[in-house]
Structure 1
Amino acid sequence: MLCSAAGEKSALLWSMRSFALIRRLEGHQSSVVSCDFSPDSALLVTASYDACVIMWDPYTGEQLRTLRYGGVRPCGPSCDIHTSSLRSVCFSPEGLYLATVADDRLLRIWALELRSPVAFAPMTNGLCCMYFPHGGFIATGTRDGHVQFWSAPRALASLKHLCRRALRTFLTTYQVLALPIPRKLKEFLTYRSF
């Protein structure tokens, strides 16, 4: 699959075999400007000017979690898009963290299982962010052409997470749901229980 964000209120998922549209992911209240797949391809995150990050199951199109910028303010038309617009989102290489850049002059790092950021860094004119392939550092780009490097939190992945990541690299959500295993295990493997 390939995901595209073209400034609409939705992201588009495309088949890389047939180059046909698989589905439209709708749920944002403003333009989607950034998207990224988790390292195991079992999750997709989208960031929008509506100050929300939505975590999706790309196989089913289901919204799994919404991270709201600012913590208290609801997403929607009432958001102040001039100060809180998201510009970029990316997964860490181990799939345990997300990094986001917004117009509020902050780089935020989110733990995948929490609903609030675990680290902040001040930056101005932020435009994009990307993790170093081996983790531990994030590069951010600014509108004035500068690149900044930041130290990022690192965590040793649990054996549970490593097993889930190994399985989900090869199995779709539908294949996991068809396995003859307990419901709780299916929920864990499909990121329904964080």
Structure 2
Amino acid sequence: MLYSAAGEKSFLLCSMWSYTLIRKLEGHQSNVVSCDFYPDSALLVTVSYNTSVIMWDPCTGEKLRTLQHHMFYSQLDYTLGVHASLLRSVPFSPEGLYLATVADDRLLRIWALELRTPVAFAPKTNGLCCTFFPHGGIVATGIRDGHVHFWTALRVLSSLKHLGWKALQSFLTTYQILALPIK
């Protein structure tokens, strides 16, 4: 599949086999600006200017989870204006346990998927994009003046639950896995 965030409140999933539109996914209240596939392509995450992060099942088009990107006004200069919380970028970590987001509120956030909350923050003025190093442990952020900054990211070993989930995803759908009594 190929995904496209075209600056609208929706995004498109296209087939690379037939070069046709698979589905148009809608659910954001503002323009979708970034998206990324989970490392094994079982999930898709999108972010929009309205500060929401949505995880989707790309096979069915169903919303699985929504994360809210809240601003921390105590850490901000109030002169940033009304658009201070616009999200810019979202990648999954290589092992799929974390997400990173960059927003105009001058923060890079690392999100734990199991906790559904940010577990780490870094100051990032004028951030435009971010990505994880392919082997983990580092997040790179691109900023408006053309520079790239590097941050130490969380390095963890996958839990048995996570490894089991990844193994099951190779032959079951997300819904079949969610129905299993895995805790």
The normalised TM-score by structure 2 is 0.89
Say whether residues 1:24 and 2:4 are aligned partners.
no
- In the TM superposition, what is the alpha-carbon distance from 1:161 to its structure 2 partner? 1.0
Structure 1 counterpart SS, 2:156: coil
Tell me the equivalent position of 1:112.
Answer: 113
How far does residue 81 in structure 1 lie from its aligned partner after superposition? 5.7
Give, in angstroms, the shift of residue 147 of structure 1.
0.1
Check if 1:33 corresponds to 2:33: yes
Note the alpha carbon deviations across 1:122-159, whole angstroms, 9 max, x for none. Answer: 01110000000000000000111010000001221012
Q: Which runs of 5+ in 1 are unaligned?
A: 73-79
Which AA in structure 2 matches 1:7?
G
Structure 1 residue 184 corresponds to structure 2 residue 180:
yes
Q: Give the structure 2 partner of residue 161 of structure 1.
A: 162
Distance in 2 separating the partners of 1:182 and 1:126? 35
Q: Distance in 2 between matches of 1:44 and 1:35?
A: 7
Q: Work out the number of aligned pairs and report it.
A: 175
Secondary structure in structure 2 of the residue aligned to 1:98: strand
Question: Which residue number in structure 2 is paired with residue 48 of structure 1?
Answer: 48
- Give the Cα separation in 2 of the matches to 1:166 and 1:48: 31
Following superposition, the deviation at residue 182 of structure 1 comes to 9.5
Q: Secondary structure at the match of 2:84?
A: helix
Q: Which has the higher contact order (CA 8 A, sep 6+)?
A: 1
Q: What is the CA-CA distance between 1:163 and the residue it aligns to?
A: 2.3
Look up the match of 2:83.
Answer: 82
**Cα distance change of structure 1 residues 60 and 69 upon mapping to structure 2, 3 Å threshold:** same
**2:179 counterpart letter in structure 1:** R
Cα distance in structure 1, aligned partners of 2:39 and 2:82: 30
Equivalent position of 1:75 in the other structure: none
CA contact (8 A) 1:94 1:157 kept: yes
Structure 2 unaligned segments of length 5 or more: list them. Answer: 73-80
